[in-house]
Amino acid sequence: MKWKNLMDRVPGLPGDPSHIAHVALRTYSLALSLSLGPSLLPFVLSRVAPRSTGSTKYNGRALLKVLRRELGHDGFAFAMTLAIAGGEALNRYFSAEASGEVPAEGSPTAEPRRTLRSLLARLSAAQRTFVANFVSSAISILLIQAGRDRSLRLRNNPPSMDAIPLTVSIPHSLRSGVAVPSPTLDLTLLLLVRAVDSLCQSFVFTRCNNAPEKSTLPTKIPDEMDDVHEEEKQFRRRRLGLTTRIDALVFWACGARIMWCFFYRPARLPRAYVKWIGSLAAVDPRLPEALRAIRTGRWSYIHGSPKESHLLTSLSQDLGYPPAWGDPSALPAFGGRAANVTWTKLGVHNRSGVGGIPCELVHGGITSRFGLDGSCTANAVVRGAYAFAEAMAIYLPVHLLPVLLGRPSSLLQPHKAISVLLGAARSATFLSTFVSSYYFTVCVTRTLAFARLFPSVSHDFWDGPYGCIMAACLTCGSSIWIENGRRRGEMALYVLPRAIRTLLPNSWLRGNRPLARGLERLVFVLSFATLITGAMHKPHSLRGLSKWTAAFILKGPRAGFRKTGDQISN
């Protein structure tokens, strides 16, 4: 009885889902799941497969450090909660001061408060929201970086290095020195891209919005209302058409840059991203090493490569071919009749008129089970099929999860289930076409067409950074037109931060300089404040994950989960 009376005195959460307490709880839960979940995964795997994960590194002491890091006041979850919920609280205080709801008389601080009230009254509601979130996010980024710096100092435990989602991983060789990349760089770039997209969407909405205001609709007669609805539909089509074209262009450019860096400058990309691309492309690591050696002149068909020739000779042996097929000194540098003589000696029967390494080495034995190692078309088709199967495992949950969270009963309807399945298949087709078109363009450039048309051009060029690789990089991104128009934007926003990262100066990626850190903090704060301001005052400027996350945090689960499938990606 006493326990029941005690519980009755405990205040409950307010019923309003937009209350600050609810906002803080949802923010903390979501941020903690993003940071603590990946950090705990190695501990779980070490119990399931201890030999493959190195279970000695993931002991109880390491677990306590991870929990201390993530649950502490300088952890990612608390810092993000302070940024969002603190900004909301400060914004409400600013609004109350500007409207005069908070009395400013009869206290020592009356004069400063009257000055503050005067300043706030001159600002619009959106401007007050921006200032409030600017202040809260500035404190947030300082907390996040302070916590990350503390984790770096405790470098006896490797798991403590993975503290923040979407951050740069730190090589062990750099942990003990001062020249370490910013731990929040990837997170800052993500916010920057989303904020710029919000501004662009607002601009496109303003330029395309020629439809009448909705408030005028009740005053129209029925025929005029039909005209208004038609104008609204035209406006939506214009906005979607312009946005999807911009998204496709952005994805194409970013995809080309990322793939070029994957082969020639992988250090400019996150290591996990490089590993994922390599797995999806099923490329032997010795082949990119040889391409990088060609770019620097250490591997040449004309001058030979005494120090780097082992790269492809070992690959050739592993694929079951003579080592000479991968030796640049034994391969023809140019096409024509002289190349045919060399191919006859080496036993290569499908490279008449062209030089360079045989395509069998480029294909990597992916079609060996079908006996089609020398077929460029078969290589592209089989790789596309493998990529499709792997992409379906990625995209099916992506298309299915919003429906399960929003309206799971709709999956009982056959047409809805088929729609989700077709949507996932379309996305998987886009990714598989990306992979297959890359490989086929490489073969078209160096074997099937261009190298055959210009046999006097050395394969140091055709196999170099501005030959087949450049052509493939410029081609594969065109597969984005296969994807649903509404989802092109999310794909563009996914690759854009990584592409921007490859363009940053090496000093920013290799050294944590005060100027770079200060500029990053400023970008983080401005981007964060812009996103929250847009979510509160211009929700039409957000789309995709930004729109869903903002609606979920600020308005509640129903606002975040009520949209399904394509609607969430809008």
Alpha-carbon span 523 to 535, nearest angstrom: 18
Q: What would the pLDDT profile of 94-139 be if each residue is shown by its tens digit?
A: 988 887 765 555 566 667 777 888 888 888 999 999 999 999 999 9
Alpha-carbon span 420 to 497, nearest angstrom: 28
What's the CA angle centered on 482, arms 481 and 484, to 5 degrees? Answer: 90
Please identify which residue in the block is written with the tokens 């984005």: 480
In our burial notation (b when 16+ CB lie closer than 10 A, e otherwise), range 86-125 reads bbbbbbeebbebbeeeeebeeeeeeeebeeebeebeeeee
Looking at residue 362, what is its pLDDT? 94
Alpha-carbon span 461 to 467, nearest angstrom: 6
Burial of residue 12, with CB atoms counted within 10 A of its CB: 0-12 exposed, 13-18 middle, 19 or more buried: exposed
| C-alpha torsion sign, points 233, 235, 240, 245 | positive
Looking at residue 442, what is its pLDDT? 97
Q: What would the pLDDT profile of 504-526 be if each residue is shown by its tens digit?
A: 887 777 656 788 889 999 999 99
Which DSSP state fits 447?
A: I
Amino acid 134 reads F
| 69 occurs within a structural domain | yes
Does residue 169 carry a pLDDT above 60? no
Alpha-carbon span 286 to 74, nearest angstrom: 42
What is the percent of the chain where pLDDT is above 90?
A: 49
Looking at residue 139, what is its pLDDT? 95
Would you place residue 272 in the very low, low, confident or very high pLDDT band (cuts 50, 70, 90)? confident
Alpha-carbon span 524 to 518, nearest angstrom: 10
Looking at residue 233, what is its pLDDT? 73
Alpha-carbon span 168 to 181, nearest angstrom: 7
Comparison of pLDDT for 479 and 42, the residue scoring more: 479
H or E segment to which residue 498 belongs: helix 485-503
Looking at residue 244, what is its pLDDT? 87
Looking at residue 375, what is its pLDDT? 93
> For 512, what's the count of Cα atoms within 13 Å in the CB-facing half-sphere?
18
Tokens (6 digits) for 333: 């540098």
Domain coverage including residue 543: 20-170+178-191+505-567
Of the listed ranges 78-82, 216-220, 463-467, the one predicted with least confidence: 216-220
Looking at residue 214, what is its pLDDT? 43
Alpha-carbon span 514 to 502, nearest angstrom: 20
78 touches 30 (CB < 8 A): no
| 262 occurs within a structural domain | no
Q: What would the pLDDT profile of 408-433 be if each residue is shown by its tens digit?
A: 778 788 888 899 899 999 999 999 99
**SS3 state at 192:** helix
Q: What would the pLDDT profile of 306-324 be if each residue is shown by its tens digit?
A: 788 889 999 999 999 999 9
Of the listed ranges 109-113, 207-211, 259-263, the one predicted with least confidence: 207-211
Looking at residue 38, what is its pLDDT? 79
Q: What would the pLDDT profile of 344-395 be if each residue is shown by its tens digit?
A: 999 998 899 999 999 999 999 899 888 888 899 999 999 999 999 999 998 9
| 525 occurs within a structural domain | yes
| 85 occurs within a structural domain | yes
Would you place residue 154 in the very low, low, confident or very high pLDDT band (cuts 50, 70, 90)? low
Alpha-carbon span 288 to 268, nearest angstrom: 15
DSSP characters for 203-266? Answer: HHHHHH--SPPGGGGGGS-HHHHHHHHHHHHHHHHHHHHHHHHHHHHHHHHHHHHHHHHHHH-G
Tokens (6 digits) for 10: 């405990």
| C-alpha torsion sign, points 205, 207, 209, 215 | positive
Q: Report CA Rg, the chain.
A: 29
Would you place residue 3 in the very low, low, confident or very high pLDDT band (cuts 50, 70, 90)? very low
Residue 297: closest CA among 465, 446, 445 = 465
How long a stretch of residues is the chain?
570
Alpha-carbon span 74 to 146, nearest angstrom: 7
| 322 occurs within a structural domain | no
H or E segment to which residue 439 belongs: helix 414-443
Alpha-carbon span 80 to 144, nearest angstrom: 9
Amino acid 311 reads L
Looking at residue 307, what is its pLDDT? 83
Looking at residue 301, what is its pLDDT? 94
Comparison of pLDDT for 251 and 224, the residue scoring more: 251
Tokens (6 digits) for 133: 């979130």
Does residue 245 carry a pLDDT above 50? yes
Q: Residues 302-309: what's their mean pLDDT? A: 85
Q: What would the pLDDT profile of 448-499 be if each residue is shown by its tens digit?
A: 999 999 999 999 999 999 999 999 999 999 999 999 888 899 999 999 999 9
Residue 559: closest CA among 526, 536, 529 = 536
Of the listed ranges 31-45, 151-165, 268-282, 470-484, the one predicted with least confidence: 151-165
Q: What separation in angstroms does the CA of 138 have from each of 497, 534, 553? A: 21, 18, 19
Comparison of pLDDT for 404 and 562, the residue scoring more: 404
Looking at residue 356, what is its pLDDT? 95
Looking at residue 293, what is its pLDDT? 94
Q: What separation in angstroms does the CA of 71 have from each of 21, 46, 201, 338, 413? A: 18, 22, 36, 69, 43
Q: How many helices (H) and strands (E) does the chain have?
A: 25, 0
Amino acid 546 reads S
Alpha-carbon span 325 to 527, nearest angstrom: 53
**SS3 state at 336:** strand
Amino acid 192 reads L
**SS3 state at 395:** helix
Tokens (6 digits) for 35: 């940071």
**How far is Cα of residue 4 from the mean position of the Cα atoms in its chain?**
50
Q: What would the pLDDT profile of 519-567 be if each residue is shown by its tens digit?
A: 999 999 999 999 999 999 999 899 888 898 998 899 877 665 544 444 4
Other beta carbons within 10 angstroms of residue 419's beta carbon come to 17
532 touches 129 (CB < 8 A): yes
Alpha-carbon span 349 to 343, nearest angstrom: 7
Which DSSP state fits 193?
A: H
| C-alpha torsion sign, points 115, 117, 120, 122 | negative
Q: What is the mean pLDDT of the chain?
A: 83
Counted domains in the chain:
1
| 382 occurs within a structural domain | no
Would you place residue 37 in the very low, low, confident or very high pLDDT band (cuts 50, 70, 90)? confident
Residue 124: closest CA among 481, 456, 533, 397 = 533
